[in-house]
Amino acid sequence: MKQDRIRVLIAKPGLDGHEMGARLISRVLMDAGMEVIYTGPRQTPEMVASTALQEDVDVIGLSFLTGAHKEHTAKVIRLMKENEMDLSKTVLVVGGIIPQEDVNYLKSLGIDAVFGPGSDTRVIVKTITRAVREKRGGDG
């Protein structure tokens, strides 16, 4: 059984180097008592999937500002499945500049929540905490 503390991977797949939002969310989640692994900018989907597997995280948060969110999210999820990561136990969230018309597509891939600019950080913390609890079967 996993420890009680929620482990979160925050990653910025792609060539985007703008990381203020990812750093802010990392700090907010740490302040909420979560353990955060922030990989920094310009990660390949392969790097993100590999880190998620190695770190045995509860949550994977992908941050985008460049418009490559659909392609990179799909590839990260595909790689995780190929490496037999149990996505039914992992919360997947996407944040950043995500057009509203892309939200349903991302959710069809298995994304649990999408957060755009100005999202209330308290809502982000509550959403992640609730989703992890549900995926842990109510024990977390």
Could you state, in order of their start, the residue ranges of all structural domains in the chain? 7-135
Phi, psi dihedrals of residue 19, rounded to the nearest 5°: -125, 15
* Fold observed for domain 7-135: Rossmann fold (3.40.50)
3-state SS class at 94: strand
Task: Determine the pLDDT at residue 67.
Answer: 85
List per-residue pLDDT tens for the chain, 140 residues long.
345 899 999 999 988 778 899 999 999 999 999 999 999 999 999 999 999 999 999 999 999 988 899 999 999 999 999 998 888 999 999 999 999 999 999 999 999 999 999 999 999 999 999 999 999 986 54
Q: What pLDDT is recorded for position 86?
A: 87
Q: What is the pLDDT of residue 139?
A: 53
What's the pLDDT at 1?
38
CA angle 81, 12, 138 (to 5 degrees): 55
Residue for token pair 């992992």: 90
